[in-house]
Amino acid sequence: MGFKITATFTALGEPNRLHIVELLRDGPLTVGEIADRLQLRQPQASKHLRVLLEAGLVEVQPMANRRIYKLRLEPFQALDAWLESYRSVWEERFDNLENYLQQLQSEENKQN
């Protein structure tokens, strides 16, 4: 806990990192495996993983020579919670209400 949601967004804003996350959705992977599948050089893979790690999106588990990265759930749940407040917005068709209010305003206090 204690990760800022903007960190989540910026981390996922980079295409390679988004791709990594999508790979990890299907299960934990090794740095080398990630680099292979994404056509990345190993150092770049490590660097992106570092960013994801610091954003709390993944965690790492050393195994022998390797480091296995896997998704952490919390940031996704946080994202979900954040989205929740917007779901109500579109479900209530807030949109139309506002159009209505704008009409009122645009007609400068016309009283019927």
Partner DNA sequence: CAATAATATTCCTTGACAGGAATATTCTGT
Partner DNA sequence: ACAGAATATTCCTGTCAAGGAATATTATTG
The residue from 14, 36, 54, 92 that contacts a second copy (CB under 8 A) is 14
List, as one string, the DSSP characters of the chain: ----HHHHHHHHTSHHHHHHHHHHTTS-EEHHHHHHHHT--HHHHHHHHHHHHHTTSEEEEEETTEEEEEE-SHHHHHHHHHHHHHHHHHHTTHHHHHHHHHHHHHTTS---
Binding mask 19-58 toward DNA (x if CB under 7 A, else -) reads: -----------xxx--------xxxxxxxxxxx-------
Instruction: Provide the binding-site residues for a second copy, judged by CB under 8 A.
Output: 5-6, 9-15, 18, 25, 27-28, 61, 63-64, 68, 70-71, 73, 76-77, 79-80, 83, 85-87, 89-90, 94-95, 98, 101-102, 105-106
